[in-house]
Amino acid sequence: MSRLRGRNGSVHPDNVKVALHIVDGGANNRGPSMADILSALSHALDMVEGQPRGHAARTAYIADRIADEIELDEGNRQEILYTSLLKDAGCSDNSARIHQIFGGDDLLTKNRVKVIDWSSKLESVKFAYANMERGGAVVQKLRRMVASLSTPDASMDALTRARCTRGAGIAKKLGFSDAVAEGVANVDEHWDGRGAPYKLSGERVPLYARIVGLAQTFEVFVSTFGLQAGLQMLQERNGKWFDPELVRAVFGFSQDTPFWSRHQAHLGDPNETLPSEIQGCEASATDIDAVCSAFAEIVDAKSDFTGQHSARVCEYSVELGRYFRFDSERLSILRRAALLHDLGKLGVSNAVLDKPGRLTEAEFAAVKLHPQFTDEILRRIEGFHRIADVASAHHERLNGSGYWQGFDSEQLDLDMRVVAVADVFDALSAERPYREALPLERVFSILDQESGTHLDPECVSAMKTLHRSSAVAA
C-alpha cells in the first residue's frame, strides 16, 4: 500500500465525481459540469502561460493517472482534477511584471522558463541573460538585468508568490476546498526545498501540489520533446524537484502505449477526448456565474491598463439590458458574455497590451485576434454558444469595419450592440495609466460621432440617458 494519502476535506458543492472524458467537448445530454467549464476556460490560461492549448487538461489527465497509481480515492482524484485545471488561475497576475523585467513577449518568456531548471542559480542567470532584451546588445541586457533583478531566484519567488496567491484565492472564491487551494498555492514548490515561493520541502509540500507540480512539468517536456525526454527529465530531477514515489508511479505507466497515444492525439487536436472512468454532473447557475466572475478577474489582472474593465462592461451592459427590458434569462446570458468578452486577451502579449502609444500594423493584428480567441474558447462549452456569439462581437461595427468577423448591421443583434457600446463607454470613461478618465460630456460627444456608423444609436442614446445625471453632477 502506498505511503501517500490524500486529504478527504470538503469538495466543491457539486460533490460529484468529475469527468475527464467530457472535459474537452464530449457529447452529452445535459448542461456542462464544473470540470467541462474549467477545462474549456483553462485553454485561455494555457495561452497566457505560453503553452499549447489543452496543456492544463493533459496535466489533469496525467495527474489523475498518478493518483490512480498511488491508490487515492475518487474524492481525492476529483480534487486533483480541479487543482490541475486551476493551477494557472493566477498566471495573469505576473504577466505585466514579467514584461517589465524581461522586455519583449511575456508569453514567449513564460514558455521558455518551463523547460529550464529555474531552481538552479546558474540556470536562472543564464536564462535571464538569454531572455533579457532578446536581440539587444550585451550592454542593454546587462543594464536591464541590474535594473530589474535583485537576484534571479528572489525575482522568481516574487513572481511565483503573486501568481500562486492569486490562483489559490480564485480556487477558494469558487468554493473549492482548502486542499485544492493549497495545491494551487504550492504547485511550484519542490521536494528538495528549492522551489518557490515558500521553500517547502518533502511532505510539507501538499500532496496535490506534488502530484500536479510533477504532472505539469512532465506534460510540458513530453509535449515539447517527447516521452523519452520527459522520462529522462524525471530521472534527473527525482528527489530534487519531485517526490521519488510519484516518479516511480509515472514509470509504472510509462510503457502504457494507449495512454500516451491518447495524450499525443490530444496534443495534435485539443478537441480530442481524454477518457476516464470518473463521471460528472451539471453545474448550477450559481457555479457558472462564479466562474464567469472569476475569469473576468483573471483577464483584468493581466494588464494595468484594464483593471476592473470586464466588471464595468458587465455593469453597463446589464444597465442597458434592463433599459431595453430584457427578461431574466436574456440578462443572465448578457451578463456572462460581458464578463468574458475579453477572455481572448489572455493570448495577447503584454508587450502589445501595455503599449501606451500607437500600435504597429503587426501589433494591431495581434490585438484583433482576441475576440476570435474568446469565441473559440467559449464555444467549447456545452450551452455557451450564445454567450460566445455575444462576447466575441464586441469589436464589430454597424458599417462592417470592425473585427474579427467583419459583421455589419444586418448581423449584429441588440445584445451584441449593447456590449459593444458598453465596452467603448468604459474604454473612454475609465482612467488609464497613461491618461486621466475623459469627462463624460467628452465621452458622450465621441459616442455621438460613432453613433449610426459604428455604434447602435438606440444603445448610445440609452447610455446617455442612464449616465447624463453623472455628467451634470461632474
The count of C-alpha atoms lying within 13 angstroms of the C-alpha of 35, restricted to the half-sphere facing its C-beta, is 30
Q: Do residues 420 and 455 lie in contact, with contact meaning Cβ atoms separated by under 8 Å?
A: yes
Strand-pairing partners, residue 455, are: 451
Q: Do residues 211 and 80 lie in contact, with contact meaning Cβ atoms separated by under 8 Å?
A: yes
The pair phi, psi for residue 455, each rounded to 5°, is -115, 150
Q: What is the dihedral of CA 200, 201, 205, 207, to 10 degrees?
A: 170
Cα–Cα nearest to 187, from 177, 196, 176, 178: 196
Cα–Cα nearest to 43, from 314, 280, 347, 474: 347
Q: Do residues 341 and 391 lie in contact, with contact meaning Cβ atoms separated by under 8 Å?
A: yes
For 3, counting Cβ atoms within 10 Å of its Cβ (0-12 exposed, 13-18 middle, 19+ buried), the class is exposed
CA distances 25 to 266, 286, 444, Å, are 12, 22, 43
Q: What nine digits make up the cell of 292?
A: 464567469
Catalytic residues: 345
